[in-house]
Amino acid sequence: MPLLVQKYGGTSVGTIKRIEAVADKVIGYKNQGNDMVVVVSAMSGETNRLVSLAQDIDSQAKGRELDVLLTTGEQVTIALLAMAFEKRGYPARSYTGGQVRIVTDSAHNKARIKSIDDENIKRDLDAGRIVVVAGFQGIDEDSNITTLGRGGSDTTGVALAAALKADECQIFTDVDGVYTTDPRVEPDARRLNTITFEEMLEMASLGSKVLQTRAVEFAQKYQVPLRVLSSFESGEGTLITTEYEADDIMEQALISGIAFNRDEAQLTINGVADTPGVAYQILGPISDANIEVDMILQNIGADGTTDFTFTVHRNDFDTALASLQKAAGSLEAREVSGNNKIVKISIVGVGMRSHAGIASRMFEVLAKEGINILMISTSEIKISVVVDEKYLELGVRALHEGFDLKQES
Ligand code: ADP
Ligand code: ASP
Ligand code: MG
């Protein structure tokens, strides 16, 4: 019997009515002869509500107890959805991550899945039950509850699909697939029939929250057929593929999509000595504080000094600035400054490999709109620029138009 793992996100289970609609939808697939494993998120807004409760007690709340708190959101939805199945005469059983035994490492708030025990699920499927699993959570070797990072239910879905060798992992959400860019910013964005894993991985890690980055990594590694679809309308959605289907129009495209990230902040230390070890002295304490650095830029000044600029997640801005100010003394720096009102816009596409001049076209489009570029970084299939946050919408839309990604008329 074919096996489908379906994941329904927060908006899709946001009310009792919607949970009931999900139950009906899943039953439709079950009646077509599929075994069904359903992964659900917390009801929309619930995880944020729980985070803010924690922050009312400790503005820096993190670690073990935050995970105990946040996982309750998903526990509510699995129970409600399983009840909806039972009420409709379909035997079902709900599981928290720990009950399945989704074992993770112990990195609270951003744990990685190490193994999944499929015994309980397989037994239930063999008994004809629909299995409902809480997304976003697991337990470590010592049975501490862990979470997989925001958006982590996608990864639960993919990991279960890999462990159970499902025929497809279907991510149901509030859009009907992966678009050329976030349709909330560019209403003319176009749904892609297919996108390669490589591109999807770049899009996700550069800020497209439609799929969690780790879910894409996992699916690529374990060759899980992965599709993004709408919970609310029917359609084929977007299939994430290893290669473009030969007749797919996107084969011709220079770039496939535009991603952006609003969670950026930039720090600069000016006038430090241009000698070996300086980068380490600046970034060592940042990494010791567990802060991830994204882009790094170093300018060489004429007077033997150098300016050093880098970006971090906006949540880490204050800590990074304090660390830099501390380092500034021993480095005899001229000045330390920071800007947490910046964003990163990236264009992504495997077509870049075979076409020159894409970067200059990107810069031309932004220049025409009077958008100043603060930093640039490139890799084989992406170009990212950092710009003032007030230019986010304008920049994304101009690039969407400039690279001809609009809806076909
Ligand atoms: P869920 O709660 O179902 O996990 P998310 O909010 O995490 O849903 O992800 C879906 C959202 O991702 C969409 O509503 C859309 O605004 C956003 N998004 C960002 N980039 C894209 C893109 N390229 N294609 C489709 N949606 C995107
Ligand atoms: N509920 C979690 C979050 O909001 C996990 C998820 O929805 O994927 O981040
Ligand atoms: Mg999500």
CATH code for the domain in which residue 173 is found: 3.40.1160.10
Q: Is the pLDDT of residue 408 over 90?
A: no
Ligand 1 pocket: which of 38, 47, 173, 231 to mutate (most atoms <8 Å of CB)? 173
Ligand 2 pocket: which of 136, 216, 218 to mutate (most atoms <8 Å of CB)? 136
What are 110-159's pLDDT values in tens digits?
999 999 999 999 999 999 999 999 999 999 999 999 999 999 999 999 99
Average pLDDT score over residue span 80-98 = 98
Domain match, 192 and 328 both = no
Backbone angles phi, psi at 68, to 5 degrees: -60, -40
Domain range for 24 = 3-249
111 Cα to the center of ligand 1, angstroms: 22
240 CB burial (10 A radius; 0-12, 13-18, 19+) = buried
Of 249, 278, 297, which residue sits at a domain end?
A: 249
User: Which atom of ligand 1 is nearest the CA belonging to 257?
Assistant: 23
Is 135 a pocket residue for ligand 2 (Cβ < 6 Å)? yes
Type of residue found at 67: D
pLDDT attached to residue 299: 85
Domain match, 265 and 159 both = no
User: Is 340 domain-assigned?
Assistant: yes
CA distance 163 to 350: 30
Domain match, 236 and 309 both = no
Which domain CATH number covers 319?
Answer: 3.30.2130.10
User: Which atom of ligand 1 is nearest the CA belonging to 171?
Assistant: 3
Is 157 a pocket residue for ligand 2 (Cβ < 6 Å)? no
224 in Cβ contact with 169 (< 8 Å) = yes
Domain match, 270 and 222 both = no
CA distance 399 to 258: 8
What are 8-55's pLDDT values in tens digits?
999 999 999 999 999 999 999 999 999 999 999 999 999 999 999 999
User: Is 178 domain-assigned?
Assistant: yes
CA distance 181 to 158: 23
Q: Is the pLDDT of residue 409 over 60?
A: no
User: Is 90 domain-assigned?
Assistant: yes
CA distance 288 to 106: 19
Domain match, 182 and 242 both = yes
Which range (211-215, 238-242, 355-359, 402-406) has the least confidence?
355-359
Average pLDDT score over residue span 186-198 = 95
The model's pTM:
0.94
What are 255-280's pLDDT values in tens digits?
999 999 999 999 999 999 888 888 89
Show Cβ contacts of residue 90 under 8 Å, excluding neighbours closer than 6 positions.
27, 30, 130
Ligand 1 pocket: which of 8, 18, 175 to mutate (most atoms <8 Å of CB)? 175
265 Cα to the center of ligand 1, angstroms: 22
Residue nearest to atom 5 of ligand 1 (CA): 210
Of 216, 249, 282, which residue sits at a domain end?
A: 249
24 Cα to the center of ligand 2, angstroms: 23
11 Cα to the center of ligand 2, angstroms: 10
User: Is 158 domain-assigned?
Assistant: yes
User: Is 72 domain-assigned?
Assistant: yes
Domain match, 311 and 183 both = no
- What is the rounded end-to-end Cα distance, in angstroms, of the chain? 41
Q: For the sheet containing 305-313, what is the strand order?
A: 293-300, 305-313, 257-273, 335-348, 382-388, 375-379
Backbone angles phi, psi at 129, to 5 degrees: -85, 155
CA distance 393 to 107: 35
Is 41 a pocket residue for ligand 2 (Cβ < 6 Å)? yes
Q: Cβ of 337: how many Cβ atoms within 10 Å?
A: 12
Is 152 a pocket residue for ligand 2 (Cβ < 6 Å)? yes
Is 155 a pocket residue for ligand 2 (Cβ < 6 Å)? no
Domain match, 152 and 58 both = yes
Interstrand relation of 238-241 and 305-313 (parallel, antiparallel or unpaired) = unpaired
Average pLDDT score over residue span 204-208 = 97
Q: Into how many domains does the chain fold? A: 2
Long-range contacts of 214-220 (CB under 8 A, 24+ apart): 214/112, 214/148, 214/149, 214/152, 214/154, 214/155, 215/151, 215/154, 215/155, 215/157, 215/158, 215/171, 216/240, 218/113, 218/155, 218/158, 218/159, 218/162, 219/158, 219/161, 219/162, 219/169
Ligand 2 pocket: which of 74, 145, 147, 153 to mutate (most atoms <8 Å of CB)? 153
Characterise 304 by phi-psi region: left (phi > 0), alpha (psi -120 to 50), beta (else).
Answer: left
Domain match, 203 and 80 both = yes
One DSSP character per residue, 126-170 reads HTTPEEEEETTEEE-TT--EEE--TTTHHHHHHHHHHHHT-SEEE
163 Cα to the center of ligand 1, angstroms: 25
User: Is 408 domain-assigned?
Assistant: no
Cα separations in angstroms, 400 against 13, 173, 248: 32, 23, 19
User: Which atom of ligand 2 is nearest the CA belonging to 151?
Assistant: 8
Residue nearest to atom 6 of ligand 2 (CA): 151
Interstrand relation of 335-348 and 257-273 (parallel, antiparallel or unpaired) = antiparallel
Of 229, 249, 269, which residue sits at a domain end?
A: 249
CA distance 135 to 155: 8
Domain match, 132 and 262 both = no
Domain match, 300 and 219 both = no
Domain match, 145 and 242 both = yes
38 in Cβ contact with 24 (< 8 Å) = no
Helix (H, G, I), strand (E, B) or coil at 4: strand
Pocket of ligand 1, beta carbon within 6 A: 9-12, 41, 151, 173-175, 178-179, 181-182, 184, 208-210, 257
Is 220 a pocket residue for ligand 2 (Cβ < 6 Å)? no
Domain match, 295 and 168 both = no
